[in-house]
């Protein structure tokens, strides 16, 4: 045990990125994930193995690995011998997604008394991001900011697994907006709500923030579900 060893031991922890040089399949999955979330691939679209593998110059096997990853995130659904399709959430899914969000977000906010300041600051940053997007009337960016806001709320829990789960849930929630044609103005009314919630958090009024959030989620779910059922009734060819 020399002095050099001591110094090396005191070096900072390795950045997470070091562990994983990304594989081709993951890169393909990342690309497709963006396509799905951004709506370049509409819900219900079938993803042909042959065409995609030719288009992006990867083998079918690699592509299939990417499909598996995204299926696990519920962004794609895989049907035996039929192929993979972009998920097409139903109103039941919407209800389930909100149920999950209530479960994750509200306890996280309520427990925010013990959350580190940076976590609360992340919430504030997302609010600011949303307001900046509203200035520019950039609806798509507003949706993204809203996602970041709720991700930051869940992040107050300080759990890596919850963070990951929440990411999936939010990605799926975004799909819901693509299923309905009227996507992004939905977020606009909620911006002020976001700011109120952050204000409470900043004052460390966790219960107040949680109560606001609860009402927020109720209202948002209500609005989405009604819009959704109307749409489902309409597109149902009976």
Binding site for DNA (CB under 7 A): 21, 23-25, 46-50, 57-62, 64-65, 78, 80-83
Q: Considering the complex, what minimum distance in angstroms separates the CB of residue 221 from DNA?
A: 33
Q: How far is the CB of 127 from a copy of itself (least distance, A)?
A: 23
Report the 3 state secondary structure along 166-219: HHHHHHHHHHHHHHCCCCHHHHCCHHHHHHHHHHHHHCCCHHHHHHHHHHHHHH
What are the C-alpha distances in Å from 106 to residues 125, 162, 185, 199? 19, 13, 24, 16
| 211 lines the binding site for a copy of itself (CB under 8 A) | no
**H-helix or E-strand containing 136?**
none
The site partner of 97 among a copy of itself, DNA, none (C-beta below 5 to 8 Å per kind) is a copy of itself
85 binds a copy of itself (CB under 8 A): no
Q: Which residues between 125 and 164 bind a copy of itself (CB under 8 A)?
A: 157-162
Cβ distance to DNA smaller for residue 49 or 131 = 49
Residue 153's binding partner out of a copy of itself, DNA, none, with CB under 5 to 8 Å set by partner kind: none
Contact string 53-72 vs a copy of itself (x = CB under 8 A):
--------x--xx--xx--x
């Amino acid at each position: 045990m020399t002095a050099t060893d001591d110094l090396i031991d005191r070096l900072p922890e390795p950045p997470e990125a070091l562990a994983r040089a990304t594989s081709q399949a993951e890169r393909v999955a990342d690309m497709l994930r963006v396509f799905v979330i951004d709506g370049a691939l509409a819900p219900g679209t079938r993803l042909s193995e042959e065409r995609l593998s030719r288009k992006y110059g990867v083998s079918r096997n690699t592509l299939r690995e990417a499909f598996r990853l995204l299926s696990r995130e519920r962004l794609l659904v895989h049907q035996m011998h039929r192929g993979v399709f972009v998920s097409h959430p139903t109103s039941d899914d919407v209800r389930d997604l909100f149920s999950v969000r209530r479960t994750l977000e509200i306890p996280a906010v309520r427990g925010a008394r013990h959350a580190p300041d940076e976590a609360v600051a992340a919430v504030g940053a997302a609010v600011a991001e949303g307001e900046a997007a509203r200035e520019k009337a950039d609806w798509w960016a507003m949706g993204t900011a809203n996602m970041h806001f709720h991700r930051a709320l869940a992040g107050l829990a300080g759990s890596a697994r919850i963070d990951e789960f929440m990411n999936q849930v939010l990605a799926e929630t975004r799909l819901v907006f693509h299923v309905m044609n009227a996507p992004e103005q939905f977020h606009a009314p909620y911006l002020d709500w976001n700011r109120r919630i952050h204000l409470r958090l900043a004052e460390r009024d966790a219960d107040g923030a949680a109560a606001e959030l609860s009402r927020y989620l109720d209202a948002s779910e209500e609005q989405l579900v009604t819009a959704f059922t109307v749409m489902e009734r309409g597109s149902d060819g009976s």
